[in-house]
Structure 1
């Protein structure tokens, strides 16, 4: 069983007994937290989708520790200009342990309803465009012919 849940603005695929690093949470170490924004739930092939979240589904987790991530270096340079800037930061993270995924009062994905029957009318709703009449041929009058070029072969 796994679920896709939104934690601190990011989506994670979680299952039971999984350790996940997320953006810093306001909870203290050792406390339990619950995430209600479950977007997808898979229970051995039975997939339930939320629109946008599944009502009644939640993921329980325990906060293990607060820590800082690896240092990320940002280096900017413009060649031949003597411009160099070095900057970096370490992201504040929280390590959580997923203790369980629960569905209380959740409902399975309902089968699609059939569309309402289409009512056909005998009247045309959009009138068709009338075609322009073709030019009529007149009898006895011939169109002027183009002059042919003659090749001088002497």
Structure 2
């Protein structure tokens, strides 16, 4: 069984006991979260598609920790002008373990 869930404007395919890295959420480690925007549910071959969401379904998970993603280098340059800027960025994520779909 799996579901496609909308979390903070991004779509994730989730299954029970799976870990996902979602955009940073409020809440401390150990807190439970509930995702109501379920777009699709596959229950052993029977697929239910929402219009726009599937009513009666929700996905619950547990926040494990808040982490940072890999560093992305942002490099800007204008040729022949002597201008070059190098910056880095690390995105904040929340590691969530999916506990149930239903």
* Bin of the TM-score, shorter chain as denominator length: over 0.9
When the two structures are superposed, what TM-score results if normalisation uses the length of structure 2?
0.96
Deviation at 1:68, TM superposition (A): 1.2
Q: What are the Cα deviations for residues 5-59 of structure 1, in whole angstroms up to 9, with x where unaligned?
A: 0112210000011000010010111011110100000011100000100111000
Task: Say yes or no: does 1:63 pair with 2:63.
Answer: yes
Which one has the largest radius of gyration? 1
Larger relative strand fraction:
2
The 5-angstrom pairing of residues 1-154 of structure 1 reads 1-102=1-102
Work out the CA distance in 1 between the residues paired with 2:101 and 2:26. 21
Give the secondary structure class of the aligned counterpart of 1:97.
strand
| Aligned alpha-carbon RMSD (Å) | 0.8
Q: CA deviation at 1:71?
A: 1.1
The separation in 1 between residues aligned to 2:85 and 2:74, in whole angstroms, is 8
| Unmatched 5+ stretches in structure 1 | 103-154
Superposition TM-score, scaled by structure 1 size: 0.64
Aligned residue for 1:62, secondary structure, equals strand
Superposed displacement of residue 77, structure 1:
1.2
Report the Cα offset of residue 80 of structure 1.
1.9
Q: Which runs of 5+ in 2 are unaligned?
A: none
Structure 2 SS opposite 1:3: strand
Deviation (angstroms), 1:63 = 0.2
The C-alpha deviation readout for 1:115-137, integer Å capped at 9, x for no partner, is xxxxxxxxxxxxxxxxxxxxxxx
